[in-house]
Amino acid sequence: MAGLRGALIVLEGADRAGKSTQARRLVEALKERGYRTEGLRFPERTTEIGQLIGSYLEKKSNLEDHTIHLLFSANRWEQVPMIKEKLRSGITLVVDRYAFSGVAFTSSKENFDLHWCKQPDVGLPKPDLVLFLKVSPEVAATRGGFGNEIYETNSFQEKVAKRYAQLMDDKTVNWKLVDASQDIENVHQQLKELSEKAIDDAKDQPIGKLWE
């Protein structure tokens, strides 16, 4: 309907939780149900900032830890005008990772606290729904090994999982925890139901600001 906005739906979780697969399927399913829907991902590696990030993740360049954190955030901010425009035109966005990844990963490094890590992303468009895909380390291990990117080690991912748990204590964010150890189809059905509800709840609400 004209004048109604789309919802901002984010998928989060540790590596190998199935986020990218589920995000793709969710976009297709929502489209089939008649919702105008598009997918986004962060980092968005195609922009100039995104290329710096890609090269860091692939260990082709080293960047100072605060610097790479700020670049991840800048990579989100550079998409904000487009995100707002799409939401306002009624398009629902399904986003594979967002600011929560930024905070969970950097704050898992030595000498970074959650508070500092959140600041650059304060004020971003607030997700109407954050779907957290939770997998046990055992199930994740059956899904094939990590790639060769930085952060892709068991010890680092364990720290990341603890940081996500801390972020999920924040009740100002609409977190929904989904057991992603179930088969793909079950997970998909749950994500679809939660998303349709979020779209319905968000459509006549203003776009919020994250962590403000």
Cβ proximity to ligand NYM: between 71 and 187 the closer is 71
Residues 29/117, Cβ–Cβ less than 8 Å: no
In angstroms, what is the minimal distance from the CB of 132 to ligand NYM? Answer: 14
Output the six-digit token pair for 7: 């919802």
Neighbours of 134 (CB within 10 A): 18
The beta-strand segments (E) located in 23-119 are: 37-41, 92-96
Closest chain position to Mg ion (CB): 15
Site string for ligand NYM, 124-163 (x = CB under 6 A): ---------------------------x------------
Site track for Mg ion across 1-40, x = CB under 5 A: --------------x-------------------------
* Cα-Cα-Cα-Cα dihedral sign, residues 34, 82, 54, 179: negative
Pick one of ligand NYM, Mg ion, none as the site partner of residue 125 (Cβ within 5 to 8 A by kind): none
Residue in the block written with tokens 């598009």: 38
Cβ closer to ligand NYM: 72 or 164?
Answer: 72
Is residue 97 within the footprint of ligand NYM (CB under 6 A)?
Answer: yes
Identity of the residue numbered 18 = G
Report the nearest approach of Mg ion to the CB of residue 45 (Å).
Answer: 11
- Does residue 160 contact residue 102 with C-beta atoms inside 8 Å? no
